[in-house]
Structure 1
């Protein structure tokens, strides 16, 4: 009985690339998750470890970034065809290329560079009661409200020590996925109207704040929620910093003027805090 190599393929999975198209002050976002898989005359790499036929997965990743800069990103079908054809046409050992792309679309919040990601957040509610004659509380909220500013964010003047490598910046992408809870003063309200107003306050605080830190943005978002609703007394938020790093395109002879980014999913900064009115009633300790 002979043992033989069967069908096989290899590639780079989930390449997160973000392209900011800047038309003056008006920006457009193309946010993709690209997975490449190649197959062809690859027997020797499996059987003997000879890598001569292998186009490295790191090269595949770099090609996605370079093509995002060189050709831009229009329709994802066209971008996928461009990549797939390139891999097959440029390498004699590659006979088949499979490119899978997921596009995360963004809607404009307000102004030229503030966006909310399509897909929708999840509305939440937490009700506590010690019975009809005891204390009660209602906490409303949402989770997975994904927001992005393509400019209008800075981060500098931070503490540094011998392990600091982060460079200060006066222009960066600021993106986050908001989880927020807001505490009502009572247990009777127009809950739908209150939710819509709180959500609008979060969006306005994010879009209209020139941010020097995500902490500052968190406070402004909470302040907007409370300022517009006297029936609320506290907002708590958890906001991961969804880092976007500029891709170094110099090895390919290209400049990168804040256009092509790598969207990193981890590790991430996690900013949490609360904003409350000075007369907010305390929450019973066992209710936390």
Structure 2
């Protein structure tokens, strides 16, 4: 038996680097994959790990380099990491570093300006949705419009404290955190009309404006504010239902590497996550007559 080509590394390290220039923030949101190869035969053939740099160390290197050097162009960041792993480890002869970058646009203010400077929407359009119910005997039509995949983030302006605690509580209260979510929304129209495209644009604008403009004490509060804003600005809509996962961004502890982290480098966790759901109805909303999801 012969050992063939092999490599190992840390896949999908989600690193978010936030730069703070006063009230104007910037985001670099990346997914980094590292694969190293070289003189690793002993690890496979004899279980000798002397040449193996733990994949956890590779993950920590990504976070530490994001703090020390920032992330300008992803190609430059990948080169920096690849050279480090090869040049610092005699047993590592080759390094493959792959980086995906996720783009964010600032949520504009209602007057078309840059808005808050710390509120963002993920680039790339969300998915527009609709569900139509038609009851033959009553000739009743119900039109539900909506969207999925509207990913938004506030890099400040969010708190979470004063929550219930029990013997299993480890979460620390915070007065400043990243708040990110992927909005799934569905809204019920009062009646048929011929302006669904314009209605969709108004509802989307209202969702973004409320998210950016709400100083959040909880994602529940933000959800309600977003629903209210849609109903206030879209008289043709009588009910909206929202499902919003809490896309947790955890501040990375860089102290073991002699680095501070003033809310700049984050680990973007994908699971588990909090899921906040709720409906907001106009006081005069007619009964749908059935479950319209």
**TM-score, normalisation: structure 1:** 0.98
Displaced runs of 4+ in structure 1, greater than 4 A?
none
Task: Say yes or no: does 1:270 pair with 2:275.
Answer: yes
1:202 aligns with 2:207: yes
Tell me the residue number matched to 1:7.
Answer: 5
* SS in structure 1 at match of 2:165: coil
Cα deviation digits, residues 52-96 of structure 1 (max 9, x gap): 000110000000000000000000000000000000000000000
Q: Does 1:87 align with 2:85?
A: yes
Measured after TM superposition, the shift of residue 251 of structure 1 is 0.2
Separation (CA, whole Å) in 2 of partners of 1:243 and 1:131: 46
Mapped partners of 1:47, 1:26: distance in 2: 53
- Give the structure 2 partner of residue 45 of structure 1: 43
Partner of 1:134: 139
TM superposition shift of 1:163: 0.7
* Count of aligned residue pairs for this structure pair: 286
Aligned to 1:261: 266
Of residues 191, 198, 201, the one that matches 2:196 is 191
- Of 143, 149, 169, the residue aligned with 1:144 is 149
Shift of 1:285: 2.8
Tell me the C-alpha RMSD between the 2 structures: 1.0
TM-score normalised over the length of structure 2: 0.96
Whole-Å Cα distance in 2 between the matches of residues 124 and 166 of structure 1? 36
User: For residue 78 of structure 1, what is the aligned residue in structure 2?
Assistant: 76
How far has the Cα of 1:195 moved from its partner? Answer: 0.2
Paired with 1:165 and 1:111, the residues of 2 have a C-alpha distance of 32
Shifted more, 125-134 versus 96-105: the winner is: 125-134
Residues in 1 aligned to 2:159 and 2:232: alpha-carbon distance in whole angstroms:
25
Alignment gaps of 5+ in structure 2: 108-114
* Residue 108 of structure 1 pairs with residue 106 of structure 2: yes
Alpha-carbon distance in 1 for matches of 2:291, 2:28: 46
Q: Whole-Å Cα distance in 2 between the matches of residues 8 and 239 of structure 1?
A: 41
Change (3 A) 1:217 1:287: closer
Distance of 1:216 and 1:14 partners within structure 2: 32
Of 28-37 and 125-134, deviating more is 125-134
- Cα separation, 2, equivalents of 1:26 and 1:271: 28
What corresponds to 1:59 in structure 2? Answer: 57
Residue in 2 aligned with 1:279? Answer: 284
1:133, distance to aligned residue in structure 2 (A): 5.1
Matched with 2:242 is 237
- In structure 1, the gaps of 5 or more residues are none
Give yes or no for the alignment of 1:159 onto 2:164.
yes
Q: Distance in 1 between matches of 2:126 and 2:25?
A: 23
Match of residue 187 from structure 2? 182
CA offset at residue 131 of structure 1?
2.9
Deviations 1:32-67 (A, max 9, x none): 000000000000000000000001100000000000
Q: Distance in 1 between matches of 2:153 and 2:2?
A: 50
Say which SS state the counterpart of residue 79 (structure 1) adopts: helix
Please list the CA deviations of residues 207-262 of structure 1 after superposition, one character each: whole Å capped at 9, or x if unmatched: 00000000000001111100011111001000000000000000000111000000
Instruction: Give the drift of 1:177.
Output: 0.2
Distance in 2 between the 1:265 and 1:208 partners?
A: 25
